[in-house]
Structure 1
Amino acid sequence: MHWLTTLLGGGALGGIITAALGYLSKVNDNQSHNEKVYADHTDELFERIDHLTDERDKSNRQVVKLQAKIETQNRTISSLKAKVDRQNEVIDKLTQQIGELSEHIKSLSKLEQEEIKSNENSK
């Protein structure tokens, strides 16, 4: 019976060792295959990175230009707003002067009417 235990134990242990070696061999083959695939595409990946970097740099330059345009437009808007405010002040003053002239014309008109009446009464 001792020989049966040795045979079964040795066979099982041999099977485990064979399976482990087969697994390690397969993992190593897969790893070297993956490394080969990556090596085949390295140049392509670097080209893509370079292209994306160029696009990013181009976008950054556009952002800087647009920010400068926005600043210029903001200054123009501020200047125009100040001009509109000054024109509104002038309009308000002119409106007030027109009101004063209208009152003056009304008072002159009343005086003329009174003068006309007094001339008619004196005739």
Structure 2
Amino acid sequence: MSQTRKFSGIIKWFDNQKGYGFITSIEPLNMVDVESQYEERLNEDEKSKKFYQTWSDEDLFCHYTSIKFRDGKERNDGDGKATFKTLEQNDKVEFIIREVKDPNSGIFKPQALDIVIIK
């Protein structure tokens, strides 16, 4: 597997109660090389080609399980005990993009993963 490309973006919004939100990519997302999390759904002809997906200025879904901590940037619930992964509007982040199956619709969609808050 080749080196995975990292993208930069800004948190458009993030709902701490629900644990998800959206990232607006700083870079255009047209013709992004996507590595599918579900390779088995591709036939042999598709596997032999570079798999490309085109998105047009689409905001990327992000989930709290994809947030990675850097430099101890953790936020707690106020009692000083529990820390949880969260993002705030306008946080600058770095991430990779993967095609992930939406559990509700069954459609494969781009999603931001390995999200790191940058300064």
Higher relative contact order structure (alpha carbons within 8 Å, sequence separation ≥ 6): 2
Higher strand share: 2
Higher helix share: 1
TM-score higher than 0.5 here?
Answer: no
- The structure having more radius of gyration, on CA atoms, is 1
Measured against the shorter chain, the TM-score band is under 0.3
TM-score (norm 2): 0.13
TM-score (norm 1): 0.13
